[in-house]
Amino acid sequence: MTGMLLNGYVVSLQIFALTLIGAIPLGVLVALGRLSRFKPLSWLVGLYISLMRGTPLMLQMFAVFFIPYYLFGQQTGPDYMFVAVMIAFIVNYAAYFAEIYRSGIQSMPRGQYEAAQVLGYSRTQRFFRIILPQVFKRILPAMGNEIVTLVKDTSLAFSIGIAEMFTTSRALVASQRSMVPFAIAALIYWITCLVIEFVLRRIEKRMDYYHD
């Protein structure tokens, strides 16, 4: 039983890790688009963020899963299931991360931009050397919240039949007529979150060498 659960857990961790790897950098681009002075881009990105935050992630997953069929009449293979989940997760979480980045970027004092500008830094250098590192520290607590939520959100992949931990635990509950697999799965989710919180606290401590 634990073997099956652990197999499911590995899939859950894959969804978790791949979402972070994709959404953390993508969120920066989305935030920059949202903050762009080119209004059409800013509005378009605003619409995207609003859609992502205003509709259920589960629905978005279904949308990504079925769109190729309805749009191109193409049957998708079973491999596409996982791809669809990843696209939906990354695109959804990038929207949430982007809003956190945006709040962080906008909270930066104007003097930091001006000092960098006077010293001759280009716009790119200014953003990546001066602004972003400071934004990172400011948004860490908010990001921690989202990341812990993501651990539990991976269970949504159950709805399109990915064999992640919740799916396997549910199958075990059905076959064994026992709630124990659910309890174990809950414990594993919880421990995972505890580990993540621990890691985040360590990072926060390391960033604590300065205050602004």
Partner 1 sequence: MTKPKTREMPRPDISLTSALGLPAVYVKDARKSFGDKEVLRDVSLSIKQGEVVSLIGPSGAGKSTLLRCLTLLDTFDSGELAYGNVRVCANVPGESRTTYDKEAERQARMRFGIVFQNYNLFPHYTVLKNVMDAPIVVQKRDPKEVEEQARKLLERLDIADHADKVPDQLSGGQQQRVAIARALCMNPQVIYFDEATSALDPKLTQDMHRLIRELAHDGMAVGIVTHEMGFARDVSDRIAFLFDGQIVEEGTPDEVIGNPSDPRTKAFLANAED
**Shortest gap between Cβ of 189 and partner 1 (angstroms)?**
35
Measured from the CB atom, the residue of 42 and 112 that comes closer to partner 1 is 112
- Smallest distance, partner 1 to C-beta of residue 212, A: 4
Q: Which is nearer to partner 1, 109 or 141 (CB)?
A: 109
CB of 185 to partner 1, least distance (A): 39
Are residues 60 and 92 in contact, defined by beta-carbon separation less than 8 angstroms? yes
- What is the smallest separation between the CB atom of 144 and partner 1, expressed in angstroms? 19
Long-range CB pairs of 34-41 (<8 Å, 24+ gap) are 34/98, 34/99, 34/102, 35/102, 35/105, 35/106
Nearer to partner 1, 61 or 116 (CB): 116
Nearer to partner 1, 37 or 211 (CB): 211
Residue 207, class by beta-carbon neighbours within 10 Å (0-12 exposed, 13-18 middle, 19+ buried)? middle
> 79: buried, middle or exposed (CB in 10 Å: 19+, 13-18, 0-12)?
exposed
Q: Which residues bind partner 1 (CB under 8 A)?
A: 109, 111-112, 114-122, 124-125, 128-130, 133-134, 137, 209-212
What residue type is 125 in one-letter code?
A: Q
Cβ distance 154 to 192 under 8 Å? no
Q: Are 28 and 101 in contact (CB under 8 A)?
A: yes
The minimum distance between CB 25 and partner 1, in angstroms, equals 9
Closer to partner 1 by CB, 6 or 119: give it.
119
